[in-house]
Homo-oligomer: A and B are copies of this chain.
């Protein structure tokens, strides 16, 4: 009963990156459901990043409301799953977001590792 889950301690740095992560995973995997996304992220980052439901589900709903995702409900093993996939608009937008992410990472590296400027 005690929802005693592991305290996450995700660095503040991840703030703002959730939408990009979701969209990239969907671009790569075609369709995914929420819980699957949390597990995938945990696996890829070797447990370093745990998406919380309180962040994930509102984010999915918002992306859907913005027309970037489509949803499709399935019942598997008597349990509900909501599969999300990118719309056409979402696919286009994903390209932009990934480009922004590259710029962001490049800029952060310039700020933090000025010796590497060339």
Interface on A for B, CB 8 Å cutoff?
A: 11-17, 19-21, 24-25, 28, 41, 44-45, 48-49, 98, 100-101, 103-105, 107-112, 114
Contacts and interface: CB of A to CB of B under 8 A. Distances in A.
A104 to B, nearest CB: 4
B112 A45 contact: no
A104 B24 contact: no
B114 A44 contact: yes
A87 B14 CA distance: 26
Nearest to A11: B100
B112 A108 contact: no
Contacts of A13: 16-17, 20, 100-101, 104
Given A12-B19, A16-B13, A109 B104 contact: no
